[in-house]
Amino acid sequence: MGVEPLVISSLGASEWGANIPGFGWLEMEECLRREGLLAIEPIARTVGGEGDVGEDMDPAGRALIASRIRAGAIPILEGPSLERNVAARMEAYRQAAGARPIRAFVNIGGSWANMGTDPEVLKLEPGLARSVFVPRPDRRGVIQAMAAAGVPIIHLLNIKGLCERYGLPWDPRPLPASGQGRLFRLAAAHSRPAAFLAAAYVLAMIVLLSVPRRRTLGKRRAEPLVFR
């Protein structure tokens, strides 16, 4: 798709997530890289959980996650408050992007730092957000901070709602093969008219450029045809 992800990953589990001590997200990342399915490195990591520092976790588990992050080369983010945590994340994204603009912010899951603490965020529909309520800074997460900066938001939290919207099966048994299903059939059907229109456009431009131009009067020269 021509995109470069700038990822801040959380190692804390949500309900039944990566909660096997010997096979957490770090091991999953390594597996995906070893199999050639993942080629990116996060720009930062967090413990996750309450306060984004695992306040609701067992102390031993919280210490294990934090120590494992610090043992690696990826920096850890540990803001003492929501406002400073969000500011640290925004700065990390800005530094990683450099002079390039951030085209979209994709929130995956219910991270405390991404969601913020204002209850209005619970009304945010999954998928491309049409509008985002921006609360005061001390209740603002990265979602609202990015929206305030004019960055489009893609919210991936209520996956069941996304499945219902796009006609995808929810937790199908057995899992369908890759590239199959109603969504792929619709995408293929919609791509045909676009391909025909593109071919017709190219053909029309070839005909246009093939027609001899009249000689202009005086010293005026023909202007070049510029495609933008």
| Residue 208 pLDDT | 44
Do 12 and 47 meet the contact criterion of CB atoms below 8 Å apart? yes
Do 225 and 209 meet the contact criterion of CB atoms below 8 Å apart? yes
Pairing of strands 8-10, 105-108: unpaired
> Reduced to 3 states, what is the DSSP secondary structure of residue 156?
strand
| Residue 203 pLDDT | 55
| Residue 226 pLDDT | 32
Do 10 and 45 meet the contact criterion of CB atoms below 8 Å apart? yes
The pLDDT tens digits along the chain (228 residues) read 788 999 999 887 665 555 677 788 888 888 999 999 988 899 999 998 888 888 888 898 889 889 989 998 999 998 889 999 999 999 999 999 999 999 999 999 888 999 999 999 999 988 999 899 999 999 999 999 999 999 999 999 888 888 888 778 888 888 878 777 777 777 777 665 555 555 555 555 444 444 444 443 344 333 333 333
Beta bridge partners of 76: 45
User: What are the distances in angstroms from CA 48 to CA 97, 182, 211?
Assistant: 23, 36, 65
| Residue 72 pLDDT | 87
CA distance 156 to 52: 19
227, two tokens: 């495609």
CA distance 33 to 56: 31
Tell me: the pLDDT tens digits for 21-63? 778 888 888 899 999 998 889 999 999 888 888 888 889 888 9
